[in-house]
Amino acid sequence: MNDDLIETLDNELAEEGSELYEHIRMTVDPGQQPERIDTYLTNHLSNISRNRVQNAAKAGNILVNDKSVKSNYKVKPNDVISIVFTYPPRETDIKPEEIPLNIVYEDDDVIVINKQAGLVVHPGHGNFDGTLLHGLAYYFEKTHQNIENRFGYLVHRIDKDTTGLMIVAKNEAAQAVLAHQFFEHSIHRRYYALVWGDFDEDEGTIEGNIGRSANDRRKMTVYPNGEYGKEAITHWKVLERFGYVTLNEYRLETGRTHQIRAHSQYIGHPLFNDAMYGGDVILKGTTFTKYKQFIDNCFKIMPRHALHAKELGFVHPTTGKQMMFTSELPNDMEQVLEKWRTYLKARNLLEE
C-alpha cells in the first residue's frame, strides 16, 4: 500500500477521541558529547523545529530516563529520551467558509465546540472543504483574532457523524499541554451511545487491541490477543434499558480510532444505526411488521450512528484550572430515545 493511500485512509478513519500526537522514544549514542536537549532533538529529528521542542519541554512532554526535563537539559551518553510531539498544522489550502459552529467556551488558549452531525473535522479524501477547520478559519477571520495559526491547532478528533464536545487549541504551547493530558489519559471524556441488545451486568470493561481491518480498510477490528493494533480500553455503564436496545455511558481510557464503535461490535452490541459496524439492521426484537416499521422510522429520524460526546474535562493549559463541559443530547438522538420509551411502555402494558 502506498503512502498516499495510507494517509487517505488515516484521514477517513478520524474518529471519536482520536488523538493527534506522536510518541517518540530514542537512546542517545554512547559517544555523544553533552548538548542541550532542544538542540540535540532539533538536529536528530526531521521536520521538528526548536520552538516545537521547547513547547514540548514546557508542557512536560520530554522525559529523560523517565523524568521530565527542561529544554536546557544536557543530554549524556545512553540517556533514554521519551517525547510526545503534537502534529503541526498541515500546509493546506483552507479557505474560510461560513459554517455554523456551536462554541460553548473560548479564551486566548482554547476553544470548545459542540460539533453537529455531518461535520468533518479536517480536510481529507473526499472532504476538501466544508470542514470544521474551514469554519474556524472563517470565525477567526470574522472576529479578527490574532492567533498563531488561522484555523487553530487540533488536539483530537471526533467522527463526521458523532456529535458533541471537542477542544481545539489556539496556539502551539496550549496544544502541547493538552497533548500531554491526552497522552497521560487524564482528559475526562464521557460518551452516550444507543446500542443493540440488553446487558446482564450494569457496567463493565472492554479490552482488546484495535487495528485496521484486513478485510475492509475503512473499518477497525479488535485483536483480543494483542497480535496486532494498539491497546484499547473502554469502560461502559448502563443508563437506560429498553429491552432490545440500551443507552450506555462510555468512558475512554485510550483514544483509538473508532474505539467505541469497534469495541461495541466486538462484544455483540453494535451502535444503533451504525452502518459500518452492522448496526443499521434489526439485530434484536420481533418479526412483527409494526416493529420493523418502528425501527425504520427511528433510522429515518437519526440517519447516523447513535453516539454523542457528552462530557469533556481538562486542565487549562495556562491557568491550571480544571475545566468541565457537558452538552445536551442532539435532537435526533433524543427523539429516538423518546420513541423507545414510548414503545417500552406500550409493550409493558400489553404484557400486564
Q: Give helix 50-58 / helix 172-183 axis angle, nearest 10°.
A: 50
Q: What angle do CA 63, 23, 167 make, to 5 degrees?
A: 105
**Which residue stretches of the chain are H helix?**
3-12, 37-44, 50-58, 132-142, 172-183, 259-266, 289-301, 331-351
Q: Is 42 exposed, middle or buried (0-12, 13-18, 19+ CB in 10 A)?
A: middle
Give the residue-averaged pLDDT of 114-129.
86
Per annotation, catalytic residue among 109, 159, 161, 274: 159
b/e map 74-110, b = 16+ CB within 10 Å:
ebeeebebbbbbbeebeeeebebeebebeeeeeeebb
Residue in 180, 156, 181, 154 with CA at minimum distance from that of residue 169: 154
Helix (H, G, I), strand (E, B) or coil at 225: coil
Inter-CA distances, 313 with 33, 266, 283, 316, Å? 43, 28, 34, 9
Torsion angle defined by CA atoms of residues 179, 180, 184 and 187, in that order, rounded to the nearest 10 degrees: -50
Give the residue-averaged pLDDT of 60-66.
91
Kindly report whether the global pTM for this prediction surpasses the value 0.75. Answer: yes
Task: Assign domain 189-309+331-351 to its CATH architecture.
Answer: 2-Layer Sandwich (3.30)
Cell of 55: 513547547
Report the alpha-carbon distance of residue 172 to residue 317 in Å, rounded: 11
DSSP string, 3-22: HHHHHHHHHHT--TTEE-EE
Say which residue, 214 or 191, is predicted with more confidence. 191
Give residue 88's pLDDT band: very low, low, confident or very high (50, 70, 90). low
22-83: CATH number = 3.10.290.10
In the prediction, which pLDDT does 256 show?
Answer: 87
| Percent with pLDDT over 70 in the chain | 91
Q: What is the pLDDT of residues 208-259, one digit of tens each?
A: 999 998 888 789 999 988 888 889 999 999 999 999 999 999 999 888 889 9
Cα dihedral across residues 10, 16, 22, 23: positive or negative: negative
The residues with which 238 forms a beta bridge, in sequence order, are: 248
In the prediction, which pLDDT does 18 show?
Answer: 56
In the prediction, which pLDDT does 244 show?
Answer: 97
In the prediction, which pLDDT does 129 show?
Answer: 87
Q: What is the pLDDT of residues 122-169, one digit of tens each?
A: 887 677 789 999 999 999 999 988 887 888 989 898 999 999 999 999
In the prediction, which pLDDT does 85 show?
Answer: 76
Give residue 4's pLDDT band: very low, low, confident or very high (50, 70, 90). very low
The residues with which 322 forms a beta bridge, in sequence order, are: 315
Which amino acid is residue 336, in one-letter code? V
Report the alpha-carbon distance of residue 170 to residue 316 in Å, rounded: 12
Say which residue, 19 or 164, is predicted with more confidence. 164
Give the start-to-end residue ranges of the domains of the chain.
Answer: 22-83, 189-309+331-351
Residue 159 known to be catalytic: yes
